[in-house]
Structure 1
């Protein structure tokens, strides 16, 4: 498919896991993809190499999120790369995927942990979109990765789930604000996905994986491609009439 030929895309946290799956899928659909990474330059380079080997176009873009000025620095770096490669700073697609999570109940959540979660998962996407929207033309696409954790109570993920609920409110409100410009804004909510982030508990033993799989109506754990394909739809022209929505990509978890 070449549905995104001529378009530019930024995927935050695009070097590993779900983000890598999204970056590879958008590149396969023809987009020039900026693969953002926070600290793992090697993983980002590996993702770019895989995309190029498959015939796509991509480049790595490093910027740690969660500190003052992070969005400005990221978009300034993106501008420089796009000008060098395309002669324009136009940005067509933003996928806010970068996020952190902590296993912490109410009593275990310190102010520092709470602030870090909101800085990376909420503040960074907000100001990235604020600046990215200035570079977008009609039919721009903004997608933020939420979580199935907003649908059910998980006491050990309290603050994390709160950040994703904030992202969903952001999505609905921003969709209305940007609609007159023809820009759609949606969120995609994965369930349990087999990534590095989940490997520590998901692969402890067969029982752990089986329990995780049982939450899905399909009785399996999700793969990055399962989420990437939904994002690919959301950023395509086929999704031109879909905005302000949270697309459930949990595999029917906890129906």
Structure 2
């Protein structure tokens, strides 16, 4: 066995959803460059910046799967193909999600409820369940068991007007982290729901474009001011914490809803 092959065999195997842009794309790049990870991605789109990363690292480091994260069968297929290609799963970073549709509860078209919930909440269960048998085996580079990182939001704790479905789903992820951490404690699988901060991504552009007339003006102005004052986070800062948690997150913090800049995670930051 060559030195390169041996090193690659020891590198962590991570599944990352919502990897095609913004926070997910930054997390992918950090997993590959900082942790020498092998990464399976699931995303609906494959924009040029994402394709460039895939081409740079090649198919021995990235398995890029295009599909709907809200579809149960697709998630199961992602786990199956990952195990077939690399022999296991060491960590999950479940980052897929979307803010739309914006709308006040009284005005929402409830026909979108299932699609929105599948994307933002149910998708986590769709991929966690088939991955758990492999996460329990502890193939991590440091010999630890598997790790699950859920991208939550400050919205999970805040009643933003017009964000009802998104807030509900993110609160659900926090609860999932607490329950799963208790259920999998003896198996050694750790899980966290991470608040990644207010990031300069497409979601903020959406708020500025579609928030007026839907959101509370004071709440909307907060985000506008952060944009105007250059206070939105670059995605690689919280992305480094998501990537680090998936590879070597502290087991003793399992189950927590934790902010990306928590001092206990300082060793994972850029």
Supply the distance in 1 between the matched residues of 2:169 and 2:22 (Cα, whole angstroms): 20
- The residue aligned with 2:69 is 65
The aligned runs of 1:178-189 (5 Å cut-off) are 178-189=184-195
Give structure 1 stretches of 5+ with no counterpart. Answer: none
Describe the SS at the equivalent of 1:69: helix
Residue in 1 that maps onto 2:129: 130
Aligned-partner Cα distance in 2 for 1:76–1:171:
23
d(CA) in 1 for partners of 2:107 and 2:82?
A: 37
Match among 15, 38, 52 for residue 46 of structure 1: 52
Contact 2:93 2:243 in 1 (8 A): no
Aligned residue number for residue 225 of structure 2: 211
Structure 2 equivalent of residue 78 of structure 1: 82
Matches within 5 A, 1:217-228: 220-228=231-239
2:27 counterpart (6, 10, 22): 22
CA drift at 1:203? 8.5
**Partners of 1:231 and 1:122 in 2: CA distance:** 18
User: 1:201, 1:165 → 2: CA distance?
Assistant: 20
Alpha carbons 1:25, 1:229 under 8 Å: kept: yes
Q: What are the superposed Cα offsets for residues 170-201 of structure 1, whole Å, 9 maximum, x if unpaired?
A: 00000111111111111111232111232244
1:10 corresponding residue in structure 2: 15
Cα distance, 1:47 vs structure 2: 3.0
Compute the displacement of 1:120 (Å).
0.9
Name the counterpart of 1:166: 172
Q: d(CA) in 1 for partners of 2:261 and 2:199? A: 9
Question: What is the SS of the residue equivalent to 1:179?
Answer: coil
- Give the superposed CA RMSD: 2.8
Find the partner of 1:234 among 219, 241, 245.
Answer: 245
Identify unmatched segments of 5+ residues in structure 2: 1-6, 139-144, 211-220, 263-270
Q: 1:250 to 1:106 in 2, by over 3 A?
A: farther
Query: 2:97 — aligned with what?
Result: 99
Distance 1:42 1:246, change over 3 A: same
1:151 aligns with 2:165: no
* Aligned-partner SS, 1:235: helix
Name the CA distance, whole Å, in 1 between partners of 2:113 and 2:232: 28
What TM-score do the two structures reach when normalised by structure 2?
0.77
| Structure 1 residue aligned with 2:205 | 199
- Mean CA deviation greater in 57-66 or 182-191: 57-66
Q: C-alpha displacement at 1:237, in angstroms? A: 3.1
CA 1:183–1:131 in 2, change beyond 3 Å: closer, same or farther? same
Structure 1 Cα separation of the partners of residues 189 and 52 of structure 2: 31
Cα distance in 1, alignment partners of residues 235 and 28 from structure 2: 11
61-70 or 114-123, which moves further after superposition? 61-70
Structure 2 CA distance, aligned partners of 1:214 and 1:178?
44
Measured in 2, the distance between the counterparts of 1:201 and 1:250 equals 24
1:245 alignment counterpart: 256
Give the length in aligned residue pairs: 235
